[in-house]
């Protein structure tokens, strides 16, 4: 496959050759349209007023969702991006508006979510004078963005935005922040049309794949007796779910997922052996230290997945497929690194693979699954206690949604339980805050998810603690009448911390007993229907009512106060030391 | 085992990039012993020379992270024997010490120091060289009353480099040619440059 070598320095033909004079704000919105953006999550303010004024005329082409807090906007943009594969867009004002985005930016950065944030800024001549609502946004957001830039002249706006979208979406995706001073928003300039960015000379998002390493990796896998595939969000970001399925099916390779990789492979697939990590399944954790070839696809060996690095897969040869060269050899030493976009590397690798089955090895996973079933899973899904368990709620939810719903989780025990027990048939169905573990993520993210996938059922599963962190977004649901289902699993504790205090701090429950308001009454105040249940006999009917209700619905389910999530790999332990109880 | 590594970073000439690179070191609690920015042989391309004292693994990992930055073109890291480097130092001494004590004059000639400015009360000398040389001169001069001392950052050129021109032409192509990709990830880093 030969390509003519061209120097792509000059832009070719602009989209619209008639020169016209427009404002910087209009140029921002024209860029949004050219980049195929249809939804913007934002909150207006003084420094971004010119853009909002221009937005008023774009009502037919751009949908703007008014949130209740800029952090809500950033998480909504994340939820939108996760379920649709498109770029999440956020508008916020200067000063506190911009600083409220930091949590969302940090979350998007560590979880590689494509996002473009436009923040207003004071007039350029006021920069550095401690003006009203002025903050040094660029320097504050430097560590949590892939790229950021401050625009002080409207002429720069089209090219800077083109660059922003290109960077946010290419290679390993990430958040980009563009800070536009008010004078640049107001300034009239000669608009020559929008040209999207396809190349930046100092940025190489995708390498050319070296065929020798593909062959070397294939040879290793073909010779393996106990090969084990672990996969993460890279498969979803690369839109390579089908290629991945072909890959494992050809080699008969058992595959386990990280929580961000969940749903890339259907949970009932024969080769799907379960969840990795601190609260993952027994088999995948223990057998990591028994495999002979470990194949990592689109995952970064996070510490929650590996446990102690010096006791992680030391006996195995490691093959790492990743698009980010800095991730290879960062935590785990690789034998063969296949640097590239997995959508391209996986088919090449599959071709070089021999068709095989590893029945005995796969059965070993099933045996471990059986043991976990007896000691942990059965009791969680079919408890004999009076109190409801989180697992059984998720189990009934699975039956009612048939594995087709998008589930958005917050952070904590409920997140681990949901990721362990939820059933998924299609990709892009699991939205959760993985790397940063942001409490309060779920409610706004569910809003974004529903905008990103309006035809799918969106259920947010939230704990009583996390729900109170971004409870104000109920206002967004009220105003947009969004059909989002909110399932609160209320154990009247900050469960995950309480569990650690029970296991490691001799039950010294330091400030984890959190009191919550009557959530149903609060929802009612926001015009959202709801119900609160505590009895097993009410569960199925209440969940069905929630799912069938035409409009937003909040269901609060009281669960066991001091239930613990098992299995667990305690911090500082090896994955082989996973505890079943 | 920690040793001195000189990291050479080729970047676009954009404001704010210095901060982006500096915070990567502070985040990992790595002390930057010296940092120098300068234009390179190509117009519009800047060059950072950063000196740190760390193990090879730490240096390799942080170099890859720096290279990930959008405005960074390429990062190279080298030990002291792989580079030619110099540092500049300025010393301010009282003039009467110089005129009276012939020994000082001889010392300065020995170190190749040259006088930058001579005033009635003070003289400023400049010395260029390796760290040990400039350091030694401080100890020697402080005996005679060294008023003030300052040392510049390290500037270095990698011995086996061929300049950045060819590499830049590669980066400007939308599709780099086959031989142009070097994959330093696999195998030991035997050669510094694979062009």
Q: For the segment A254-285, what is each residue's pLDDT rounded down to a tens digit?
A: 999 999 999 999 999 999 999 999 999 999 99
- The strand pairing partners of A555, in sequence order, are A487, A531
User: Smallest CA–CA separation between B178 and chain A, in Å?
Assistant: 8
pLDDT of residue A48: 97
Band (A529; pLDDT cuts 50, 70, 90): very high
Q: What digits encode the pLDDT tens for the residues B147-174? A: 999 999 999 999 988 888 888 887 777 6
Instruction: Indicate if the pLDDT at residue B98 is higher than 80.
Output: no
pTM of the prediction?
Answer: 0.92
Contact A167 B70 (CB under 8 A): yes
Sign of CA dihedral A484, A489, A493, A495: negative
Contact B27 A143 (CB under 8 A): yes
> Which residues of A participate in catalysis according to the annotation?
70, 132-133, 182, 496
Contact A202 B65 (CB under 8 A): no
- Considering only CB atoms, which chain A residues are within 8 Å of B186? 213, 336-337
Backbone angles phi, psi at B78, to 5 degrees: -140, 150
Looking at residues A90-111, what average pLDDT do you find?
Answer: 97
Looking at residues A50-70, what average pLDDT do you find?
Answer: 96
Percent of chain A clearing pLDDT 70 (strictly above) = 97
Contact B23 A200 (CB under 8 A): no
CB pairs under 8 A between A and B: 73
Mean predicted lDDT score pLDDT of chain A: 94
Spatial distance between the Cα atoms of A35 and A165, rounded to a whole number of angstroms: 8
Band (B97; pLDDT cuts 50, 70, 90): confident
Contact A199 B174 (CB under 8 A): yes
Q: Are A544 and A555 in contact (CB under 8 A)?
A: no
In three-state secondary structure terms, A213 is helix
Contact B64 A326 (CB under 8 A): yes
Compute CA distances A481 → A73, A455, A544, A570, whole Å: 17, 15, 20, 43
- Considering only CB atoms, which chain B residues are within 8 Å of A201? 73, 168, 171-172
pLDDT of residue B15: 85
B183 inside 8 A of chain A by CB:
yes
Nearest CA in chain B to A170: B70
A12 inside 8 A of chain B by CB:
no
Band (B138; pLDDT cuts 50, 70, 90): confident
In three-state secondary structure terms, A358 is coil
pLDDT of residue A17: 54
Band (A43; pLDDT cuts 50, 70, 90): very high
Buried b (16+ CB within 10 A) or exposed e, A425-453: eebbbbbbbbbbbbbbbbbbbbbbbbbbb
- Considering only CB atoms, which chain A residues are within 8 Å of B13? none
DSSP string computed for A57-124: GGTTT-EEEE-SSHHHHHHHHHHHHHHHSS-EEEEE-STHHHHTTHHHHHHHHHTT--EEEEEEE--G
More confident residue, A222 or B98: A222
Spatial distance between the Cα atoms of B100 and A342, rounded to a whole number of angstroms: 75
Contact B173 A139 (CB under 8 A): no
pLDDT of residue B162: 82
pLDDT of residue B174: 64
Q: Most A CBs within 10 Å: which of B68, B69, B75, B167, as the mutation test of the A interface?
A: B68
pLDDT of residue A16: 53
Instruction: Indicate if the pLDDT at residue A1 is higher than 80.
Output: no
Contact A202 B183 (CB under 8 A): no
Nearest CA to A480 out of A556, A552, A553, A554 is that of A552
B179 inside 8 A of chain A by CB:
no
Nearest CA in chain A to B71: A202
Band (B132; pLDDT cuts 50, 70, 90): confident
Spatial distance between the Cα atoms of B101 and B97, rounded to a whole number of angstroms: 6
Nearest CA in chain B to A172: B68
Q: What digits encode the pLDDT tens for the residues A552-581? A: 999 999 999 999 999 999 999 999 999 998
Q: Where are the alpha helices (DSSP H) in A353-462?
A: 359-372, 378-381, 390-401, 413-421, 442-452
pLDDT of residue B194: 32
Nearest CA in chain A to B16: A139
Instruction: Indicate if the pLDDT at residue A351 is higher than 50.
Output: yes
A397 inside 8 A of chain B by CB:
no
Nearest CA in chain B to A324: B68
User: Smallest CA–CA separation between A273 and chain B, in Å?
Assistant: 30
A151 inside 8 A of chain B by CB:
no
- Considering only CB atoms, which chain A residues are within 8 Å of B19? 139, 142
Take residue A205 and report the two structure tokens written for it: 């998002």
pLDDT of residue B175: 57
Percent of chain B clearing pLDDT 70 (strictly above) = 87
Contact B64 A325 (CB under 8 A): yes
Q: Are A92 and A42 in contact (CB under 8 A)?
A: yes
The tokens 């911090």 sit on which residue?
Answer: A571
Contact B174 A198 (CB under 8 A): yes
- The strand pairing partners of A231, in sequence order, are A257, A297
pLDDT of residue A295: 97
- Considering only CB atoms, which chain A residues are within 8 Å of B177? 5
Ranges A185-194, A287-296, B159-168, B173-182: which has the least confidence? B173-182
């Amino acid at each position: 496959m030969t390509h003519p070598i061209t120097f792509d320095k000059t832009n070719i033909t602009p989209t619209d050759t008639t020169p016209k004079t427009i404002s910087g704000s209009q140029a921002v919105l024209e860029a949004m349209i050219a980049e195929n953006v249809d939804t913007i999550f934002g909150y207006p303010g003084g420094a971004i007023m010119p853009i909002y004024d221009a937005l008023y005329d774009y009502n037919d082409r751009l949908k703007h969702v008014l949130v209740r807090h800029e952090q809500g906007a950033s998480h909504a943009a994340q939820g939108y991006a996760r379920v649709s594969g498109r770029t999440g867009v956020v508008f916020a004002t200067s000063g506190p508006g911009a600083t409220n985005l930091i949590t969302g930016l940090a979350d998007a950065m560590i979880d590689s979510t494509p996002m473009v944030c436009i923040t207003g800024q004071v007039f350029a001549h006021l920069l550095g004078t401690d003006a009203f609502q002025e903050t040094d946004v660029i320097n504050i957001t430097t560590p949590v963005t892939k790229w950021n830039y401050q625009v002080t002249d409207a002429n720069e706006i089209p090219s800077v935005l083109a660059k922003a979208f290109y960077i946010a979406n290419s290679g390993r995706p990430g958040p980009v922040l563009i800070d536009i001073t008010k004078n640049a928003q107001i300034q009239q300039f000669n608009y020559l049309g929008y040209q999207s960015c396809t190349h930046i000379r100092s940025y190489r998002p995708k390498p050319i794949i070296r065929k020798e390493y593909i062959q070397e990796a294939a040879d290793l896998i073909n010779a393996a007796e106990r090969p084990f595939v672990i996969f993460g969000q890279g498969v979803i970001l690369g839109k390579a779910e089908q290629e991945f399925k072909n890959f494992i099916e050809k080699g008969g390779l058992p595959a386990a997922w990280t929580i961000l990789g969940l749903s890339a492979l259907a949970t009932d697939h024969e080769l799907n052996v379960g969840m990795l990590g601190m609260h993952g399944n027994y088999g995948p954790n223990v057998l990591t230290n028994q495999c002979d070839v470990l194949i990592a696809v689109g995952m970064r060996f996070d510490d929650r997945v590996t446990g102690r690095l010096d006791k992680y897969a030391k006996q195995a040869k490691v093959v790492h497929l990743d698009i980010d060269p800095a991730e290879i050899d960062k935590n785990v030493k690789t034998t063969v690194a296949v640097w590239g976009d997995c959508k391209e590397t996986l088919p090449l690798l599959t071709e070089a693979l021999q068709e095989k089955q590893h029945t005995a090895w796969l059965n070993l996973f099933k045996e471990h699954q059986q043991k976990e079933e007896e000691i942990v899973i059965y009791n969680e899904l079919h408890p004999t206690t009076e109190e409801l368990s989180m697992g059984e709620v998720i189990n009934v939810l699975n039956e009612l949604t048939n594995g087709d719903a998008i589930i958005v989780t917050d952070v904590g025990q409920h997140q681990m339980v949901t990721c362990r027990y939820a059933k998924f048939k299609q990709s892009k169905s699991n939205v959760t805050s993985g790397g940063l573990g942001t409490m309060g993520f779920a409610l706004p993210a569910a809003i974004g998810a529903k905008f990103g996938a309006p035809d799918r059922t969106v259920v947010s599963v939230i704990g009583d603690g996390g729900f109170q962190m971004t409870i104000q977004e109920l206002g967004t649901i009220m105003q947009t009448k969004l059909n989002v289902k909110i399932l609160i699993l209320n154990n009247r504790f900050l469960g995950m911390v309480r569990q650690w205090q029970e296991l490691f701090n001799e039950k010294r429950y330091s400030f984890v007993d959190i009191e919550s308001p009557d959530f149903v009454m609060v929802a009612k105040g926001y015009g959202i229907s709801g119900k609160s249940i505590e009895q097993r006999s009410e569960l199925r009917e209440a969940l069905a009512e929630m799912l069938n209700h035409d409009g937003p619905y909040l269901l609060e389910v009281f669960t066991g106060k001091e239930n613990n999530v098992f299995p667990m790999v305690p911090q500082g332990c090896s994955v082989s030391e996973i505890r079943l109880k | 085992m920690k040793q001195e590594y000189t990291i050479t970073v080729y970047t676009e000439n954009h404001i704010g990039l210095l901060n982006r690179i500096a915070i990567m070191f502070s985040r990992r609690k790595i002390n930057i012993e010296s940092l120098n920015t300068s234009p390179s042989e190509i117009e519009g391309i800047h060059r950072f020379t950063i000196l740190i004292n760390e193990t090879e693994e730490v240096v390799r990992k942080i170099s890859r992270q720096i290279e990930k930055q959008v405005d960074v073109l390429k990062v190279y890291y080298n030990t002291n024997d792989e580079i030619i480097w110099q540092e500049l130092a300025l010393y301010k001494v009282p003039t009467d010490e110089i005129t009276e004590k012939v020994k000082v004059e001889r010392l300065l000639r020995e170190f190749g120091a040259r006088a930058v400015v001579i005033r009635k009360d003070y003289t400023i000398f400049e010395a260029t060289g390796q760290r040990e040389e400039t350091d030694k001169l401080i100890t020697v001069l402080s005996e005679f009353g060294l008023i003030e001392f300052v040392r510049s950052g390290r500037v270095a050129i990698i011995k086996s480099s061929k300049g950045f021109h060819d590499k830049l032409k590669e980066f400007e192509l939308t599709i780099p040619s086959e031989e142009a990709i070097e994959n330093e990830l696999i195998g030991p880093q035997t050669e510094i440059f694979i062009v």
